[in-house]
Every structure is written in structure tokens, then in C-alpha cells.
């Protein structure tokens, strides 16, 4: 891959990769570092990029592996709350209600096991096809589907719990007012 092609195809992926890394690590700064490392590695290895069928999936995969290494080396608890990442996602949204929900969603996903979290993110946040997710995570398509289903059901449970809690609270408030 030539310089121009690299700048056109790979560099624009940075923000997507950054979001993924930040989501994965739950930390804005670490996410940036990971993506920077990955981009440099890709650049140094650009001669071999032509042989890669899907450069984006390849880059995502590298980011994911790097994140896993990072989590291992720093012994960060995998399911720690994603406070840092929330900022990255919620910043541009004007709607205050959305901003809160965005944070809530990240918190829901952040509690999931790593594989489920990746799959859920790639499908629901990045809208990736199953074969792409499969390429990134190294799972087969069926396993992707299973993990996705589990993750979504977990999220559903949490959503229902929150909804229940909120409606009880609002009922109580209504009762108090009346």
C-alpha cells in the first residue's frame, strides 16, 4: 500500500478505532495511545496491507488485541465502569436526555464480559455485519450471534430493571404530590 492510499483509507479510520478502544478500555487516554500504536504499526507494515482483505476489520482486530494486552498488563478489572468512555460518546449530543441515556447504555455494556461487550459494540454501535465481527474477534459467525444475543438479553434485563425502578420512583413521587 502506497503512502497516498494509506492516508486515504487507513487514517480516516482513526476516529472509529479510537471510539472502539476508548469503549473497550473505558479510558480516553489509553484508547488514544492504543490507536496511535496501532496506526504506527500499520504504517510500518503498509507493504503487507494489500494482502489483507478487509483493512478496517484488520485494524479493528489489532486495536482489540492491543486493548486486551493493555488490560492484561495493567491488570485493570475488565468490567470496570466506563466513565472515561462516556465523555467521548456523549459530548456532541445536545439533547440532555440522550446524553444521560448514552451514559446509561455505556454502563450497561461496560458490565458485560469482554467478548460480549466487543460483539455488542461492533454490532449495535458500529453496525457491522456478522462476518466482519467474526474477522475482528476471531469468533465464528455462530459464536458471534450467540454472544450478541446474550449481551442483548443482559442489556434488556438491565433496561427493564431500570425502567421498573424509575416507574416505581415516579409513582411514589406522584403519590407524594397527590
Partner 1 sequence: MRAKEAEELLQKYFEGETSLEEEQSLRIFFLQEEIPGDLLPYRKWFVTTGQTVEDAATDGFTQEMAAMIQRQQQPVRFLSRKMIVAWSGIAASVIIIAGSLLFYLREPDYRDTFSDPAEAMAYAEKTLTFVSEKYNRGLATLAPVSRLKEGENKLDKNLKTIRKGFREYNKIQFINHLKTVD
Contact residues toward partner 1 (CB under 8 A) are 3, 6-7, 11-12, 14-15, 18-19, 32, 35-36, 39-40, 43, 88-89, 91-93, 98, 101-102, 104-105, 123-125, 127, 129, 144-149, 152-153, 155-156, 159-160, 162-163
3-state secondary structure the chain: CCHHHHHHHCHHHHHHHHHHHHHHHCCHHHHHHHHHHHHHHHHHCHHHHHHCCCHHHHHHHHHHHHHHHHHHHHCCCCCCCCHHHHHHHHCCCCCHHHHHHHHHHHHHHHCCCHHHHHHHHHHHHCCCCHHHHHHHHCCCHHHHHHHHHHHHHHHHHHHHHHHHHHHHHHHHHHHHHC
By beta-carbon proximity to partner 1, the closer residue of 32 and 80 is: 32
By beta-carbon proximity to partner 1, the closer residue of 48 and 72 is: 48
Q: How far is the CB of 89 from partner 1 (least distance, A)?
A: 6
By beta-carbon proximity to partner 1, the closer residue of 50 and 129 is: 129
Q: How far is the CB of 72 from partner 1 (least distance, A)?
A: 25
Q: How far is the CB of 162 from partner 1 (least distance, A)?
A: 7
Q: How far is the CB of 142 from partner 1 (least distance, A)?
A: 10
Amino acid at each position: 500500500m502506497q503512502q497516498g492510499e494509506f492516508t486515504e483509507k487507513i487514517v480516516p479510520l482513526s476516529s472509529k478505532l479510537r471510539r472502539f478502544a476508548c469503549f473497550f478500555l473505558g479510558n480516553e487516554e489509553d484508547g488514544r495511545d492504543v490507536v496511535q500504536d496501532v496506526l504506527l504499526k500499520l504504517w510500518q507494515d503498509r507493504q503487507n496491507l494489500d494482502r489483507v482483505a478487509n483493512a478496517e476489520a484488520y485494524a479493528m482486530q489489532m486495536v482489540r488485541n492491543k486493548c486486551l494486552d493493555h488490560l492484561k498488563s495493567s491488570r485493570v478489572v475488565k468490567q470496570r465502569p466506563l466513565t472515561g468512555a462516556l465523555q467521548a460518546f456523549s459530548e456532541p449530543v445536545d439533547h440532555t436526555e440522550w446524553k444521560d441515556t448514552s451514559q446509561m447504555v455505556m454502563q450497561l455494556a461496560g458490565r458485560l464480559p469482554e467478548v460480549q461487550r466487543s460483539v455488542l459494540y461492533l454490532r449495535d454501535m458500529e453496525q457491522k455485519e456478522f462476518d466482519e465481527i467474526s474477522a475482528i474477534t476471531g469468533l465464528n459467525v455462530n459464536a458471534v450471534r450467540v454472544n450478541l444475543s446474550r449481551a442483548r438479553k443482559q442489556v434488556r434485563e438491565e433496561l427493564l430493571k431500570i425502567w421498573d425502578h424509575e416507574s416505581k420512583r415516579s409513582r411514589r413521587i406522584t403519590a407524594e404530590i397527590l
